[in-house]
Amino acid sequence: MHAIPRLIALVATLTLLPACATGPAPAAPEAGPTLRVATYNTSLYSDKAGGLVRRLEAGDGDARRIAAVLQKVRPDLVLLNEFDYDPEGRAADLFQRRYLEQAQPGGGEPLHYPYRYLGPVNTGEPSGLDLDRNGVVGGEGRDRGNDAWGYGLHPGQYGMLVLSRHPIDTARLRSFRLLRWAALPGARRPVDPATGQPWHEDAVWEQLRLSSKSHWDVPVRTPLGTVHFLVSHPTPPVFDGPEDRNGARNADEIRLWEEYITPGDKPWLCDDQGRCGGLPADARFVIAGDLNNDPVDGDGRHEAILRLLGPPRVARMDPPASAGGAEAFHAYAGKGLQRRGPPEHVTGDFGPRSGAMRLDYVIPSTGFQVRGSGVYWPAAGAPEAAIVQGSDHRLVWVDLGPGEPPAGD
């Protein structure tokens, strides 16, 4: 495992790159197939249970713009963050039939995904514990959300949806939704700075779940072989107090993937079916999601994302870039909001207090040829610019081709 100073130097080197063109170009005619993998925080959620279904049934403008972006980029495998989960999959059905499979204004040809995965998440699921230490278990509104296993106003809010052109091996799929935070070796247990004592009582700490939504290993049988799609959406490292409990959780949610891809005996790393251990050393993978951590800017413990970009099993590649992101970054700088990161690598516009930052990642393993990448964020004057306003995040994509097999342990 590399030291942090070396990782910082590595990331600094990788980020000195020019902005990319307006949108993703068709894959070059290179040897072997190309697999386009993407992540997109869609902001398709509602504060009310069943609200997303009602939005999609009524005809939702933001959903149309999200679908238009997907029709433009046409990923083969994509994670949608902040897509509310319902057990019957009604929202996913509606989005597929009425939005993706219908040509959208500003989009491309209709888009069909024959395979998908969605499952329960921790957001909005009552814990039965006083997690925010306000003296009340549950309650209404935000108080109720703060005492859920992951913040949410109803079960399934801010869920995840994987869409694929290629078959998903559901028999080998792994979920780590129930993994306890305390099980992670060296877990960043929050401390109350006023007392120097753990912020959570022992009885609460021993029950806390690590994942604020879930962590999924979704094996997909692609023309490049089986790809383990490692997807998650760690909690934002804000909305807490001086104990920084969300900052600590965000960092450890990110570290779970670092542990998962690092060879070694890990009897503590058990999935929701009771199967223990990490990813085999010869497996190819892509880590994807809104990880809520910029390498240098904003809140969050940046060493966590720097470490995830640095293990030997992660491919060395140029960070995805865009012209529109650079424009947004410089616009905020002109208003006095100073940031240190490379402007072209930001993946979302989070308003005047936070500005534009890089929070969304597609991180492939070794064993692939990286053929291209980008953030779908056209410049402001481009005809396609209007469709990116469906979410405050932008879609991030990477094109992969066949490469040398990853080295075994």
Residue pLDDT, tens place only, 147-178: 999 999 999 999 999 999 999 999 999 999 99
Closest CA relative to residue 157, chosen from 81, 94, 254, 230:
81
CA gap 224, 115 in Å, rounded: 17
pTM to 2 decimals? 0.92
Given pLDDT bands bounded at 50, 70 and 90, which one contains residue 337?
Answer: confident
pLDDT at 49 over 90: yes
Closest CA relative to residue 44, chosen from 407, 390, 397:
390
pLDDT of residue 402: 94
pLDDT at 341 over 50: yes
Contacts of residue 203, defined as CB under 8 A and 6 or more positions apart, other chains included, come to none
- What are the domain boundaries of the chain? 4-15+171-402
Read off the pLDDT of each residue in 310-318 and give the average, rounded to a whole number: 95
Closest CA relative to residue 190, chosen from 126, 243, 136, 265:
243
pLDDT at 56 over 80: yes
pLDDT of residue 323: 96
> What are the pLDDT digits (tens) for 78-89?
999 999 999 999
Closest CA relative to residue 39, chosen from 287, 349, 302:
287
> What are the pLDDT digits (tens) for 368-379?
999 999 999 999
CA gap 276, 254 in Å, rounded: 19
CA gap 139, 146 in Å, rounded: 9
pLDDT at 246 over 80: yes
Architecture of the CATH domain 4-15+171-402? 4-Layer Sandwich (3.60)
Read off the pLDDT of each residue in 230-237 and give the average, rounded to a whole number: 98
CA gap 83, 60 in Å, rounded: 14
pLDDT at 320 over 70: yes
pLDDT of residue 29: 54
Please classify residue 101 by burial: count the beta carbons closer than 10 Å to its beta carbon, then call 0-12 exposed, 13-18 middle and 19+ buried. Answer: middle
Contacts of residue 338, defined as CB under 8 A and 6 or more positions apart, other chains included, come to none
How much of the chain, in percent, has pLDDT values that exceed 90?
86
Answer for the pair 357, 295: CB distance below 8 angstroms, yes or no.
no
pLDDT of residue 4: 35
pLDDT of residue 26: 56
Q: Mean pLDDT score of the chain, rounded to an integer?
A: 92
